[in-house]
Amino acid sequence: MDSAKSIYKTIERLTRETPVAVATIVSSKGSVPREVGTKMIIHPLGQHVGTVGGGCGEADVIKAGLNVLHSGQPQMVTVDLTEDVSMQSLGVCGGVMDVYVERWPKNE
Amino acid sequence: MSDPLLAALLQSIDEGQPVALVTVIRAGGPAAGWLGRRWLVWPERPPQSDSSTDLPAALLAQARRCLQEQRSQVVAEKIDGGPVDVFVEVQARPPTLIIVGAGHVALPLAQLGKMIDFDVVVLDDRPQFANKQRFPMADRVLAQPFEETLRGWPINANTFIVLVTRGHTHDVACLLEVLDSPAAYIGMIGSKRRVNAVFELLQKERGIAPEKFSRVYSPIGLDIGAESPAEIAIAIIAEIINVYRGGRAVPLSAALRADRRLPLHPGRTG
């Protein structure tokens, strides 16, 4: 029940100052932490907003976001949470999600 | 200056108009150049592009279908002979929580309702309770008569109604106003014994069919042993989430339904 309005308002506000990358969960299979449509803003200075579920998967999404900010080329990140539970990766939900990462340019 | 697509999107969301943001998220072969393009799609008016590229008719039709289904999803199409995946992000209107009665339970209800991103409306006929100072978090606070206001309210399948007025006569009068509405949820406060007596009375005196009460969540809330106003509000909001998300938690009203041999009204999500 994330408010789409507030995330777009935030994108609008931030892009007055800087380009940002926006990650969106576009599809999922199995058990994943957040629903389709959930967004996270990756800020070039690290002031990220929102979450696509936290944990290792999110670190990959942030990394992709920083790449996308640099290249301008959209990227798809597949976050696989189906590994066995181990002490190294306790954040296991059991599903897979596709996260689309794109750049919203700065508005002059 | 703000991005025209973003500005139009925010405007539509603000006005409560159904709108979808359509983005090409995968594109191969001859369609590779389409990757990342975005459009806004409305049910009636022509789509708006971020790049002066027209949205292919097949995609427009798919996006409008998603709008109708109110479900964000990825759809596959061909453009210029190349395969593309397009994410159609439907901007759903947030559900509305109407809190009828502005007393002790209403306050934490309004706070929790905003926390879960509902549009929150508070209604009471006492202006000293129904006011913006007491409910700064609410989207609308109405100091108006209960029954007339509910009668004129555009209740739809995205409306959740909680009856927590200062007295059971008001609750029951309001219940009768909304009982036949398409609301997703109707909850009414009261003990099991009290509620049962009210339902029996309404059956006898108003000739209301007993099945009609099966949709009413009363006693209200999930069975978590709530006592204080805040705890009761949490039990109510948890019950609303349970209906909204199609969860499997047990409402307090289940026991009364079992006693009265009534099925649980199939909510919005089953």
**In B70-191, where does DSSP find H-type helix?**
106-115, 146-152, 168-178
DSSP B198-238: HHHHHHHHH---GGGGGGEE-S-SBSS---SHHHHHHHHHH
Please tell me if residue B89 touches chain A, with a CB cutoff of 8 Å.
yes
More confident residue, B82 or A88: B82
- Average confidence (pLDDT) over B223-235: 96
Statement to judge: residues B221 and B152 lie in one domain: yes
Q: Does residue B264 lie within any of the structural domains? A: no
With bands split at pLDDT 50, 70 and 90, how would you rate the model's confidence at B160?
very high
Q: Is the pLDDT of residue B267 over 60?
A: no
Q: Is the pLDDT of residue B269 over 50?
A: no
Distance CA B264, CA B270 (A): 10
Over residues B83-128, the pLDDT tens digits come to 999 999 998 788 999 999 999 999 999 999 999 989 999 999 999 9
DSSP E strand stretches across A6-73: 20-29, 39-42, 49-50
Note whether B87 contacts A104, CB cutoff 8 Å: no
Over residues A60-72, the pLDDT tens digits come to 999 999 999 999 9
The CATH number covering residue B123 comes to: 3.40.50.720
Q: Does residue B123 lie within any of the structural domains? A: yes
Statement to judge: residues B54 and B107 lie in one domain: no
Q: Is the pLDDT of residue B27 over 90?
A: yes
Statement to judge: residues B253 and B168 lie in one domain: yes
Statement to judge: residues B118 and B214 lie in one domain: yes
Statement to judge: residues B57 and B12 lie in one domain: yes
Note whether A5 contacts B13, CB cutoff 8 Å: yes
B26 to chain A: which residues are within 8 Å by CB? 76
Please tell me if residue A5 touches chain B, with a CB cutoff of 8 Å.
yes
Q: In percent, how much of chain B has pLDDT > 90?
A: 83
Give the model's pLDDT for residue A92. 56
Cβ atoms of A49 and A15 closer than 8 Å: no
Number of domains in chain B: 2
Statement to judge: residues B121 and B187 lie in one domain: yes
Q: Which domain holds residue B134?
A: 96-259
Q: Does residue B270 lie within any of the structural domains? A: no
> Which of B33, B65, B91 corresponds to the end of one domain?
B91
- Average confidence (pLDDT) over B198-217: 92
Coil, strand or helix: which one is B83? strand
Q: Does residue B184 lie within any of the structural domains? A: yes
With bands split at pLDDT 50, 70 and 90, how would you rate the model's confidence at B268?
very low
Q: Is the pLDDT of residue B266 over 70?
A: no
Q: Is the pLDDT of residue B270 over 50?
A: no
Give the model's pLDDT for residue B90. 94
Over residues A73-103, the pLDDT tens digits come to 999 999 887 765 555 555 556 788 999 999 9
* Beta-strand relationship, B185-188 and A20-29: unpaired
Over residues A27-75, the pLDDT tens digits come to 988 877 788 999 999 999 989 999 888 677 888 999 999 999 999 999 9
Statement to judge: residues B195 and B228 lie in one domain: yes
Statement to judge: residues B30 and B140 lie in one domain: no
Statement to judge: residues B125 and B151 lie in one domain: yes
Q: Does residue B266 lie within any of the structural domains? A: no
Note whether B91 contacts A4, CB cutoff 8 Å: yes
Mean pLDDT of all residues belonging to chain B: 92
| B207 to chain A, closest Cα gap in Å | 39
Give the model's pLDDT for residue A83. 65
Q: Does residue B50 lie within any of the structural domains? A: yes
All structural domains of chain A with their residue ranges: 4-104
B94 to chain A: which residues are within 8 Å by CB? 1, 3
Statement to judge: residues B40 and B114 lie in one domain: no
> Which of B56, B91, B126 corresponds to the end of one domain?
B91
Distance CA B8, CA B2 (A): 10
Statement to judge: residues B17 and B71 lie in one domain: yes
Q: Does residue B117 lie within any of the structural domains? A: yes
Statement to judge: residues B160 and B247 lie in one domain: yes
Give residue for tokens 């309210």: B153
Note whether B87 contacts A8, CB cutoff 8 Å: no
> Which of B70, B91, B112 corresponds to the end of one domain?
B91
